[in-house]
Structures are given as structure tokens and as C-alpha cells.
């Protein structure tokens, strides 16, 4: 039997490695072997081929591990025949690439909530104007900053309907006067915005409540208590008190009926609930709970509270948009039920599919005020 020739395993020196890697892309392995021989190194073309193959694998693994946030393993000490170590490292690299692919799939599938792609469209929501007690400064700020919005939502309590309130009254405010001011605002809004959407607030229902308490049901059908519907249709009063159609508000939309207190634009629901709470953002949370199984939505914008805030809750964006009216006298009542109100409005950004951008959509805070006179004081000793 012939004995196999004993092969001496020699590590590759740095000079050899650098020389081979600088030549392998443009020279044949035989030529590289001859070049090494001139430099005093004895490497066969086959040995050089195996070395280049291993070195290219090592470089690729270094790139993969750096992309994954791992430090590349030091493998310069591996001998020329230790292919088992490279198989192990190849397997680890494959696992990391597979894990990254899975991570990418999950990210692309679920992370789009609140972070939509595509061109964004702007929707502005104002609420609680309580005409004639409207705060013109807040409305002017909204128009100056966001007249480029495609949709304006007037989210409830457009009119105060003071004269038909069940509460005590100390001012001679005509309901017709409120109505005419509201028409003037609608004329302005309908010229600026592509669409104007109205929702009904609790104050907008005061005339309906007044009729139900004071009119016999047998004659109540002769009246039309929903002033918002009349306004959206462009009706005004002539000198004889008759309703006449004066304006074509083709871009003003109002649903009316039992669902008139909310409107949906894209995946955002604009609501004017009747309930209140002293807990911040509780009204918006209650609205989200109410619509959870009724509507597909990303965002809730609530009027009514005269407070302002933003909350991400169970993957939904919730906002309370403040108010656009001056402080009310009843806020200073000795019953001490009411805290100061926040002036403001809400801006919602959504793509053409209606998906809401949680980062860009925000309530806009204009200021805080109260009807309480904090400067009342009396000095002593004078």
C-alpha cells in the first residue's frame, strides 16, 4: 500500500491574502500562483481558488451581519481546509436574512396604521361656534392657516339658539338674527372650501326641543325644527317672514335625522356627543367605543367638550377640538361646575383612501379663557 503524502497546512500571511485578492478579478489562478512564486510563496492554483472562494464568502457575511446590527466574526485564523466553520457561518447568515425578511413582511403589513402612504389631503374641523357668541379670532386664524383644506367640517353647535333654551335668559337675542349670521358664515365657507360638512350639536336641537315641549303633536308636523337643514339648503327669510331659497349651497352637506350628530369623511368620524365628563379625553374615548363595531375608522374628532387634546387609544387617533366661541357667562356661576375652555380646532390629514396620518393630524390650540373675572379685588385700610 502506498502512503499518502503528508501535506503541511500553512496559514495564509497577510501579504499573500492582499496580493491574491488584488489579482483574482483580472488574472487566472495559474498566473496568480506564478506571481506568488516570484514573491517567494508556494501556492497551487487550486489552493488559490479555494482561498478566494472562502474569502468572498467571508466578505459577504461581514456585509450581512453589519446590516443586521451584528459584529462580523473574526475568521482570519481559519485554516485553508476548515470548510466546516464556513458552513456554520453560512447557516447563521441565512437565518439572519430569513429573520429580516419576516420582519419586513410584518412591518409592511401592520405598521401602516396611522402612517399612510401617498399624497395627503387636509380636512379642518371647527366646532361650538355658538352663534352669536362666535369667537371671530379663532375662525380668522383657521382661515389664514388652512384655507387650502379640501373639506371643512362644522362639527356641531353652529348656532346657540339662545332664545329657545330651557335655561334662564337675560339677553334679548333673536333666533332669526342667529340664523342670518350663520348663513353669512356658510356663504364664506362654501366659497373657500371644496366641501362643507355640518353635524348637529345639542344646541342645534334647542328649537326641536322647544317645539316638542310647547306644541301639540297634532300641529307640530307643520313646523320644521331643524335649522341646519334649512341653512344647508340655502333658505333665508324675506321681509314677510317667509322662507325663500336664496343660495345654492351645492357643496354644503348635512345628513340630518337621528344620525345628524356625526359625519364620516374618509376614515375619520366627526362627532358632537351629548354626554360630558371631567376626565380628559373621556368623551372622545366613549365615542370610539360607541363606533367600534358600527364603523370602520382610524380617527375620532369630537366637539362639545370645549376642551382640546390628542390621544392614541387602541390603535385609533382621538382628538377633542376645543371651541370657537367666547367664554360663556354661566362658566362664572357660583355652582362652580365649569372649568375654563380651550379655543381651537382640529386638522386631519388623510390619503386618497381615507387613511389618517396620526403624526400630521393635530388639534390646533389658540388659547385658553374664562368668564371668571380674576381682577376683582378689594383693598383694606384706605
Q: How confident is the model at residue 196 (pLDDT cuts 50, 70, 90)?
A: very high
- What average pLDDT score do residues 237-257 get? 91
Cβ pair 345, 293 in contact under 8 A: no
pLDDT at 112: 66
Report the DSSP beta bridge partners of residue 268.
265, 299
Mean pLDDT of the chain: 86
pLDDT higher than 90, residue 24: no
pLDDT at 108: 62
Distances from the Cα of 78 to the Cα of 26, 54, 207, angstroms: 26, 10, 89
Cβ pair 54, 86 in contact under 8 A: yes
Q: What percent of the chain shows pLDDT beyond 70? A: 83
| C-alpha cell read off for 36 | 506568488
pLDDT higher than 70, residue 292: yes
pLDDT at 78: 44
State the Cα–Cα distance between residues 113 and 97, nearest whole angstrom: 26
Domain boundaries, the chain: 14-110, 121-369
Determine the CATH number of domain 121-369: 3.60.21.10
pLDDT higher than 50, residue 123: yes
Higher pLDDT, 347 or 35: 347
- What average pLDDT score do residues 201-230 get? 87
Number of H helices, E strands in the chain: 10, 13
State the Cα–Cα distance between residues 186 and 247, nearest whole angstrom: 10
Q: Which alpha helices (H) appear in 111-245, and where do they start and end?
A: 136-146, 175-192, 206-214, 217-220, 227-232
- What angle separates helix 45-67 from helix 83-110, to the nearest 10 degrees? 30
pLDDT higher than 50, residue 369: yes
| C-alpha cell read off for 227 | 335649522
Q: How confident is the model at residue 80 (pLDDT cuts 50, 70, 90)?
A: very low
Could you tell me which of 192, 113, 103, 108 has the C-alpha nearest to residue 150? Answer: 192
pTM: 0.71
pLDDT at 73: 47
- What average pLDDT score do residues 255-281 get? 94
pLDDT higher than 50, residue 83: no
- What average pLDDT score do residues 160-183 get? 91
pLDDT at 67: 55
Q: Which of 86-100, 253-267, 304-318 has the lowest mean pLDDT?
A: 86-100
DSSP letter at 261? T
State the Cα–Cα distance between residues 336 and 271, nearest whole angstrom: 27
State the Cα–Cα distance between residues 362 and 347, nearest whole angstrom: 6
Q: Which of 55-64, 65-74, 194-203, 240-249 has the lowest mean pLDDT?
A: 65-74
pLDDT higher than 90, residue 150: yes
Q: Per mean pLDDT, which of 73-87, 210-224, 253-267 is the most reliable?
A: 253-267
Q: How confident is the model at residue 103 (pLDDT cuts 50, 70, 90)?
A: confident
Amino acid at each position: 500500500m502506498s502512503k499518502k503524502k503528508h501535506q503541511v497546512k500553512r496559514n495564509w500571511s497577510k501579504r499573500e491574502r492582499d496580493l491574491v485578492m488584488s489579482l483574482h478579478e483580472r488574472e487566472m489562478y495559474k498566473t496568480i500562483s506564478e506571481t506568488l512564486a516570484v514573491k517567494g510563496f508556494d501556492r497551487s492554483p487550486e489552493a488559490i481558488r479555494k482561498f478566494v472562494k472562502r474569502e468572498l464568502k467571508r466578505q459577504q457575511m461581514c456585509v450581512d451581519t453589519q446590516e443586521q446590527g451584528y459584529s462580523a466574526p473574526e475568521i482570519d485564523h481559519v485554516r485553508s481546509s476548515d470548510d466546516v466553520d464556513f458552513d456554520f457561518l453560512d447557516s447563521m447568515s441565512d437565518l439572519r436574512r430569513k429573520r429580516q425578511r419576516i420582519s419586513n413582511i410584518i412591518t409592511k403589513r401592520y405598521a401602516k396604521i396611522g402612517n399612510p402612504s401617498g399624497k395627503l389631503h387636509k380636512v379642518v374641523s371647527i366646532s361650538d361656534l355658538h352663534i352669536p357668541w362666535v369667537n371671530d379670532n379663532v375662525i380668522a386664524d383657521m382661515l389664514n392657516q388652512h384655507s387650502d383644506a379640501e373639506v371643512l367640517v362644522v362639527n356641531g353647535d353652529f348656532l346657540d339658539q339662545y332664545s329657545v333654551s330651557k335655561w334662564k335668559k337675560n339677553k334679548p337675542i333673536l333666533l332669526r338674527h342667529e340664523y342670518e349670521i350663520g348663513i353669512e358664515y356658510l356663504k364664506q365657507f362654501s366659497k373657500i372650501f371644496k366641501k362643507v360638512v355640518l353635524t348637529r350639536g345639542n344646541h342645534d336641537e334647542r328649537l326641536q326641543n322647544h317645539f316638542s315641549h310647547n306644541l301639540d303633536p297634532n300641529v307640530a308636523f307643520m313646523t320644521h325644527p331643524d335649522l341646519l337643514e334649512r341653512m344647508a339648503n340655502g333658505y333665508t327669510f324675506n321681509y314677510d317672514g317667509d322662507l325663500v331659497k336664496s343660495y345654492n349651497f351645492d357643496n354644503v352637506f348635512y345628513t340630518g335625522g337621528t344620525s345628524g350628530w356625526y359625519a364620516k369623511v374618509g376614515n375619520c368620524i366627526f362627532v358632537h356627543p351629548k354626554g360630558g365628563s371631567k376626565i380628559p379625553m373621556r368623551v372622545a374615548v366613549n365615542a370610539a367605543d360607541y363606533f367600534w363595531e358600527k364603523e370602520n375608522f382610524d380617527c375620532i374628532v369630537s366637539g362639545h367638550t370645549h376642551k382640546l387634546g390628542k390621544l392614541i387609544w387602541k390603535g385609533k387617533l382621538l382628538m377633542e377640538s376645543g371651541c370657537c366661541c367666547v367664554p360663556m357667562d354661566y362658566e362664572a356661576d357660583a355652582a362652580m361646575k365649569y372649568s375654563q375652555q380651550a379655543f381651537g380646532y382640529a386638522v386631519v390629514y388623510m390619503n386618497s383612501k381615507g387613511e389618517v396620518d396620526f403624526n400630521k393630524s393635530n388639534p390646533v390650540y389658540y388659547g385658553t379663557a374664562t368668564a371668571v373675572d380674576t381682577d376683582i379685588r378689594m383693598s383694606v385700610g384706605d
